[in-house]
Amino acid sequence: MEAKAILRYAKISPRKVRQVVDLVRGKGVEEALNILQFTPKKAATLVERTLRSAIANAMNNEEATVREEDLFVKEVYVSGGIAMKRLRPMPRGSAGQILKRCSHLTLVVGDGE
């Protein structure tokens, strides 16, 4: 049994989120929540929120009864979203472009079946 949660348009670059996501990939749900709680990065709170949503989706599924202790992070990946474009003054009167990146986080939990 699988359950999925998606966080879209998170205002943080995908590279920063991937650092945190790599810590919890393949871990049990309780261990992953423990790791995320003590990780001092902004992305950790976003991943933790998405993980809790995926756990709730698994628990509320009417087709299968599953215990929270049996769940683990089956699949998690981050992809780039839109990039807001801003300008910054550069030398000799030119303008340089700044990209404020967004990311999409997809998290799947499963019980091993």
* Rounded Cα–Cα distance for residues 24 and 22 (Å): 6
Burial of 55 (0-12, 13-18, 19+ CB in 10 A): buried
* End-to-end C-alpha distance for the chain, whole angstroms: 6
* Rounded Cα–Cα distance for residues 18 and 2 (Å): 22
More confident of the two residues 61 and 101 = 101
For position 81, which CATH number holds?
A: 3.90.470.10
* pLDDT for res 113: 66
pLDDT digits (tens, 9 = 90+) for 67-87: 888 899 999 999 999 999 999
* pLDDT for res 65: 80
Mean pLDDT, residues 16-31 taken together = 94
Burial of 35 (0-12, 13-18, 19+ CB in 10 A): middle
Question: Total structural domains in the chain?
Answer: 1
Mean pLDDT for the chain overall: 93
Helix extents (H) in 1-113: 14-24, 29-37, 42-59
Domain that holds residue 49: 2-110
Q: What percent of the chain has pLDDT over 70?
A: 99
